[in-house]
Chains A and B, each alone.
Chain A
Amino acid sequence: MPHMTAFARNQWYVAAYSHEVGREELLGRTVLGEPLVFYRTEEDGTPVALADRCVHRRFPLHEKPSRLDGDKLVCGYHGFTYDTTGTCVYVPGQKRVPRTARVASYPVVEQDSLVWVWIGDPALADADTIPRARHLDSPGWVTVRGMEPIDADYGLLVDNLLDLSHETYLHGGYIGTPEVAETPITTEVDEGAGIVRVSRHMDDAACPPFYAKSTGIEGRITRWQDIEYHAPCLYLLHSRIAPVGVLPEADGSDPNGFHTEITYAITPSADGHVYDFWMVSRDWATEDTEVTEFLRGNNHTVVMQDVDALNLLQRTLGTERAGYQELSINIDTGGLAARRILARLVEEGDKPVEKVL
């Protein structure tokens, strides 16, 4: 069995961007091995998530010619029709709808331009525990975004994002410079909240093309990378760059710093497959469409460098014998913390839930 991280159930996961869920097209996504179909209700546009297999002959409900009839979803194979709760309300040719004719419905929350779905016991779903990424949907911020499916264990993407020293090597000429790998990190774990923080503050670093071309800064920079990983799904990288030596003011304001929020949603799709949702948000040069398009293209290239590397890594690990050796050094302090938190969430998600009667 190649490298495979178990799934953490009873958690919220990003299944889609808001703009991907509509009424024109049914959206199919598989999260933690569960095939789902997404659409919006007619009246208020609330997102709906149902199991993506017709109870009759397992036809994928998101595939044409399945369609919406008002708020109801009509299977494109034999016309079995489901309401937003997944209850079948019509079967062809007979009046009696079997009581077992229903598909599972999933708790969904739309927040910060993301559509979150709860995978696990619906009775435990608490929307208040979803971590926020307000910059994705706030005035004064502009975001470029995309999603790349990766044929790799989601744990490999967590490893990748928690250790940014790889930027120096894999992303040299884009976002990587020698100082990233050379600069020591600080790691903090908030055990109860399931948050791993990894900070790398570079006092005097080369400005990578990603920032030089977008901000116009010439010369060396002060570069801060502050990661906040809300296991299992949401990854925030608070990036600050400024001309070397330029720090925030004593009152906390920072008029000369460029703040970029890099957000990832790491959503396990199936064993060995993960959705890589990537977003880059900025509150500077927000009117400059040239900067927007540059960041979109450049970051897409960076993401594809990761995609190619992780696809290759997964294939390679698949050829290894069980119990292969790996080696961790100081740069891995945050990644190891993330692995451990994930292992705990997996264990908690597998426990039978005690119900209070």
Chain B
Amino acid sequence: MSAGPTGEIYRIDWLPGTDTLHGTCHCGREHTAQDPIEMWEWMLAHPQGHEPPASGPQGHEPRGGEPRGTEPRGHRS
């Protein structure tokens, strides 16, 4: 409610039939995780960790790392 839409959209899909979250940053980079806190940490670290790989086929978006850890982590209020 502070300004109009910016088009800077973060999206996280919880993949049906799995416990996996699939995130897409506004820059187009993607990532998978099984913990929403880890996912938001990755997402909001942009541009850190969202750089295209130094080598590799051009125009290919990596699918992000393998899910790290299967247990959701606690956090403190």
Contact = CB atoms under 8 A, between A and B. Distances in A.
Given A185-B14, A193-B6, A332 B1 contact: no
A129 B14 contact: no
A330 B14 contact: yes
A190 B13 contact: no
A189 to B, nearest CB: 4
A184 interface: yes
Interface residues of A, number: 38
A118 B34 CA distance: 40
Given A185-B14, A190-B8, A192-B6, A328 B37 contact: yes
A190 B6 contact: yes
Interface in A181-221: 184-195
Interface in B23-46: 26, 34-37, 39-40, 44
Contacts, number: 105
A336 B16 CA distance: 20
Contacts of B16: 184
B1 A230 contact: yes
Contact of B74 (A129, A191, A233, A326): A326
Contacts of B7: 190, 192
B14 A190 contact: no
B15 interface: yes
B74 A194 contact: no
A234 B1 CA distance: 9
Contacts of A3: 77
Contacts of A142: none
A76 interface: no
A193 B72 CA distance: 29
Contact of A328 (B2, B10, B13, B36): B36
A337 interface: yes
Interface string A313-328: 0000000000111111
Given A188-B12, A327-B73, A348-B2, 17 more contacts: A11-B1, A184-B13, A184-B15, A185-B14, A187-B11, A191-B26, A192-B7, A193-B6, A231-B1, A323-B77, A324-B77, A326-B77, A327-B72, A330-B14, A330-B19, A333-B39, A337-B40
Interface of A: 3, 11-12, 129-131, 184-195, 230-234, 323-330, 332-333, 336-337, 340, 345, 348
Interface of B: 1-16, 19, 21, 26, 34-37, 39-40, 44, 72-77
26 contacts: A129-B3, A131-B1, A184-B14, A184-B15, A186-B12, A191-B6, A191-B9, A192-B3, A192-B7, A192-B8, A193-B1, A193-B4, A195-B5, A230-B1, A324-B76, A326-B75, A327-B74, A328-B36, A329-B36, A330-B19, A330-B36, A333-B39, A333-B40, A336-B36, A337-B10, A340-B40
